[in-house]
Structure formats: C-alpha cells, structure tokens
Amino acid sequence: MVAKVLVIGATNGRFVEAFAKVAALHAKNNFSLSLLLGDLFSDPSQTTSEETENIKRLVHGEIRVPLPIYFGLGRYSLPTPVREKINSSDEVCENLFFLGKKTVLNTSAGLRIVALGGRLNAGLATGGAGGVREETLPFYSEQDAKGLKGANHADLLLTYEWPEGVWSRSALASPGVKGTGVIAELAASLRPRYHFSAGGEAFWEREPYLNKARPDEGGSDTTITRFLGVADWGNEPKAKALYAFSINPKDTNIPVPASATECPYKGDRGKKRPRQDSDSGANFFWGDHTSGRHERAESCFFCLSYPQLEKHLIVSIGEEAYVTTAKGPLTNPTTNPSTLPFSSHVLIIPLTHTPTIAAIDDGASRKSTIEEMTNYRLAIERMLKSRNCGAVTFEVSRANGVHSHWQLIPVPDGKLAAVEEAFTSEAEADRIGEFEKRKADADNEGDYFRVWISGMDGSLVISLKEGEYFDLQFGRKVLAKVMGLKSVHWKDCVQTFEQEVKDANDFKEAFKSFDFSL
C-alpha cells in the first residue's frame, strides 16, 4: 500500500496558517498523513494573545485540522491547555495527535514511525516534574534514545535534533549543525527509509546513504536512507518548509541511486559502494561521467547553500524552485521595448542540486519541482504579456550537467513569430539535428535541448548525442539573431553591481502581483 506523506517544518505558533496551506495541498493530493517536526507551538514565555486564543480554539475543536497530523516535541514545553488535554488522550483535537517524547507508531497505512522529540539531557531522570507529565517535557535521556533501538527498524525516523556526522561523506556543503551522537547511533541501528529533523532556517537534503547489512541479510548492502532537515514554517530565507513524498512500506526492492554514498556514521560504515551500470547516467556525484570531473554542491553557484551565492540577483523563492535575474543578461532596457525598462532575462532553478530534473530520485519531489518551475514560467509570461512582450524559455538537459535550470528571455511581440523558424534553421546550420514538437510537459529521455515559446501549444525538443559537443550559448545565439543583438555570450553582457541590483529590484516589483510564492 502506497502512503502519501506530507512533512511540515516547525510552525512555532503559526499553526493556523500552516493548517490552511496543508488543507489546500491535501485537497489536491489526498495525503495519507502529515508529520510536523519540532515545535508546533511557540516559546510559552513569548506566546502572544492571538496565539493564546488560537490554542484555546484548537483544543476545543474550532480550528480545522484537514488530515491526521502527528507532532512531537521540539525546543519548548507544551502550552498548559494542550498538556491538560493530552494527559488523558494523545489527541489534541480531531486529526491532531501528540507523538510523545519517544514513540513507536504503526499507522493504518502500514508505516512504522519512530519518533524522539526534544533535546538531549544526559542527567535527566525519569518520572514527573512538579506535576507535569514527563512525556511533555522537551528533553530526552540517553536511555530514552537507546530504548528506541528495540524498535528494530523504521520506515520513518523523526527527531528534533540532527544526527552527528550526517554530513560526513557528503558532497554537499555542511549545514553547520552540531548534531547529537545518540541520534546518529539510533539512525544507524534503525536504518529508516527516511530520517527527518527540524531544519530551523534551512532546508538540507543529503544524498541517500547505504546501510550496513545485518548478518541475516546475506552480507550485502540492501537498504538506503534519505536524511532531510526541513526548515521552519515561515522562515525568513524562505527555505523549503514542506516536503511531500510517497512510500510503499512493503516495497523492499529499492534501487540504489547513482548519488548514494556510504553510511556517514562512525562504527557503521557500509561496504564499498556497488558499481553503477555503465548506462545508468553520471557515475560521479553531479559530475561529468565522460571526463571524470567532479562538481560539488558546495561549489555550485546555483545552490542556495553556495557560500558566494550572489543573493542580490534572487527575485523569488518558492517551495521547489527559485528565480534569479541572469548574470550577463542578453536583454536590457535599451534592447527591450519602452514598456519593459529592465532586462527580464531570468533563470528558473530547482532548489534540489541535480544535473537534470529527471535525475531527482523521489517521484513526488520530481513532479512538484516540474510543476512549480512551470508555474514560474507561466507567471512570468503573464507579467511580460502585460508589457507587450512574449517569452522564450530554453533548457539544456544533459546527464553530465551540474545544476539543472531554465533560461527565460523576453522577446517583443512583433518578433515572436520568427522564433520557431530561427531555432529550426540554426539547428540545421549547426548540424545539431531536427526539432520535434512535443507536449509542453512531456517527459523527454536522454540528453536534449528544449524550447518553450509563449503562445505556442507545446514545446520544441531536439535530442543531443551523448558525449558530443553542444554550444551552451545556442539559445542566446538564436534569440540574439531574432532581435538583432550583437552581444551574445554572457561575459560580453556583464553589468555593474549597481545595475544588477536595480535590474533585480525592478523585476521583483513588476512581478509582485504575479508571484504566487508571496
């Protein structure tokens, strides 16, 4: 039985707006259940009068919880009305369930969930404290963590704290979280399919890692774990606070992704990683399997975690993707019509570090990424249409790429009709091949170059031969000819820092009423 699960970052008292968003998502996706990480409520010492009222309404069943939502402990103790309600039952109200400090839960969907809430307190004694149910205190002992190893296995592991060393053996930039050793030991023992922790201001998804086999499994690496730190709801950087996925707890034939690493935890290193089939795509993490070049996420200038990321170019951040103005834009206020006095050459970039969209392992995440990137494309096209411009969006999809992205460039209405013929003739002249018309959201196999033209029904796609040279400036070159522009390469179009800031701010202001992420 396949279960559809929605993970929610800590709401810290903002549960009313979070539940409203979840209700809208549930109406479209029909989730089996939802899991909330960290603090559902805010610090009791800083609770506002509005939240106090909302808590009362919640325990009295006056706030709709759209589907079964399970929450545990984070940094703070629970509000008094909630503690009083769950003293006799773990149900706060209809569909809202308290997991307790340490829990092993088998759901009706067949999922085995193990949860450990709160922070480690090595000197914590068991028992009540001043009449407060010990299960509601935001601390756990080493014995609490060790006791959960008796669960033997878990489909999903939920912990407030991160496991120490989870960033080891990863090509991603370290999230800068200290982590806790007993959580790492618990994860190594339970070998969950997914391990979620509270992410604070950041979303961090590790490459899947292999688990060390048990003696009764024949001595081979048979399972993988995916670890994710999910950001708090409403965080200031707008990091991803919702994560949806599908899981079949009875499916034991899980393929090993090309990006998988050995187990990161000390004392439980997996065996040497199995060799990937030669036709399985990139053999190196996000690298070029033809040249052996490694591209690490920490050095990827499209990743939000990149230390030198030029944040002044970012104009919108969604749940699965973000939009940034282009470095060295093809268009500018002098080349655009007077109705568009700023570049509007932008990039639509998935938050997931992936060489191609098709390489995103999780099917639900891949689907939602495509949907949001498409929504951004269409929203920007609507903004440009209001300013007498069309748009051409193109994508170079190659398995040996670094970080997938789409480029969107404005084209004046009067020149839009010439775009399709220009791409066709230029591809013929460069002996690249022939374009095919396909559905706008078609799944394309292998390496390809794709073009969307606003107003056109569908897209143009041309297959690229693996290993053969393809000019990454091809899309810019064609559009430069259509619009009569001399400068093509981005390095010839670089702006000053002040120009870049103004361009981004002008776009952001124009796009505001079209931006669904706000």
Average pLDDT over residues 104-122: 91
Average pLDDT value over all residues in the chain = 86
**Contact by Cβ (8 Å): 328, 493:** yes
Q: Is the pLDDT of residue 505 over 90?
A: yes
One-character DSSP codes across 186-197 = HHHHH--SEEEE
SS (H, E, C) 67-105: CCEEECCCCCCCCHHHHHHHCCCCEEECCEEECCCEEEE
**How far is it, in rounded angstroms, from Cα 482 to Cα 462?**
19
Q: Name which residue leads in pLDDT, 268 or 47.
A: 47
Cβ neighbors of 41 (< 8 A, separation 6 or more) are 11, 12, 13, 15, 47, 51, 55, 76, 78, 79, 82
**How far is it, in rounded angstroms, from Cα 173 to Cα 176?**
9
Cβ neighbors of 15 (< 8 A, separation 6 or more) are 40, 41, 54, 58, 63
Average pLDDT over residues 303-307: 72
3-state helix, strand, coil in the chain (%, to 5): 25, 20, 50
**How far is it, in rounded angstroms, from Cα 187 to Cα 73?**
18
pLDDT band at 152 (very low <50, low <70, confident <90, very high): confident
CATH of the domain spanning 3-247, picked from 3.20.20.70, 3.40.50.720, 3.60.21.10, 3.40.50.1100: 3.60.21.10
pLDDT, tens digit (0-9, with 9 covering 90-100), for 319-377:
889 999 999 999 999 889 999 999 999 999 998 888 999 988 788 888 999 999 999 99
Structure tokens at 183: 């959580």
Supply the pLDDT for residue 264. Answer: 94
Q: Name which residue leads in pLDDT, 391 or 297.
A: 391
Q: Is the pLDDT of residue 127 over 70?
A: no
pLDDT band at 269 (very low <50, low <70, confident <90, very high): very low
**How far is it, in rounded angstroms, from Cα 274 to Cα 293?**
20
pLDDT, tens digit (0-9, with 9 covering 90-100), for 11-43:
999 999 999 999 999 999 999 999 999 999 999
pLDDT band at 285 (very low <50, low <70, confident <90, very high): very low
pLDDT band at 10 (very low <50, low <70, confident <90, very high): very high
**How far is it, in rounded angstroms, from Cα 52 to Cα 15?**
12
Q: In a 3-state reduction of DSSP, which class is residue 362?
A: coil
Neighbours of 202 (CB within 10 A): 18
**% of the chain at pLDDT higher than 90:** 64
- The closest of 441, 370, 373, 363 to 4, measured between CA atoms, is 363
pLDDT, tens digit (0-9, with 9 covering 90-100), for 213-242:
765 554 445 689 999 999 999 999 999 999
Domain boundaries, the chain: 3-247, 297-514
Kindly list the distances between the CA atom of residue 65 and the CA atoms of 51, 60, 92, 158, in Å, as whole numbers in the listed order.
16, 12, 10, 21
Q: Name which residue leads in pLDDT, 125 or 175.
A: 175
Q: Is the pLDDT of residue 57 over 90?
A: yes
Give the architecture-level CATH label for domain 297-514: 2-Layer Sandwich (3.30)
Name the DSSP letter for residue 148: G
Supply the pLDDT for residue 469. Answer: 82
Q: Is the pLDDT of residue 195 over 60?
A: yes
Number of helices (H) and strands (E) in the chain: give both, helices first. 9, 23
Q: Is the pLDDT of residue 259 over 90?
A: no
Q: Is the pLDDT of residue 255 over 80?
A: yes
End-to-end distance of the chain based on CA atoms, in angstroms? 36
Angle at CA 469, nearest 5°, toward 468 and 474? 130
**Contact by Cβ (8 Å): 352, 208:** no
**How far is it, in rounded angstroms, from Cα 30 to Cα 58?**
23
**Contact by Cβ (8 Å): 495, 328:** yes
Q: Is the pLDDT of residue 289 over 50?
A: no
Supply the pLDDT for residue 365. Answer: 84
Supply the pLDDT for residue 277. Answer: 31
pLDDT band at 298 (very low <50, low <70, confident <90, very high): low
**Contact by Cβ (8 Å): 449, 430:** no
**Contact by Cβ (8 Å): 344, 410:** yes
Q: Is the pLDDT of residue 314 over 50?
A: yes
- The closest of 332, 158, 187, 360 to 257, measured between CA atoms, is 360
Q: Name which residue leads in pLDDT, 304 or 223.
A: 223
- The closest of 508, 516, 378, 517 to 456, measured between CA atoms, is 378
Q: Name which residue leads in pLDDT, 470 or 81.
A: 81
Cβ neighbors of 509 (< 8 A, separation 6 or more) are none
Neighbours of 57 (CB within 10 A): 13
Cβ neighbors of 164 (< 8 A, separation 6 or more) are 178, 179, 180, 181, 183, 184, 265
Is the pTM for the entire model greater than 0.75?
A: no
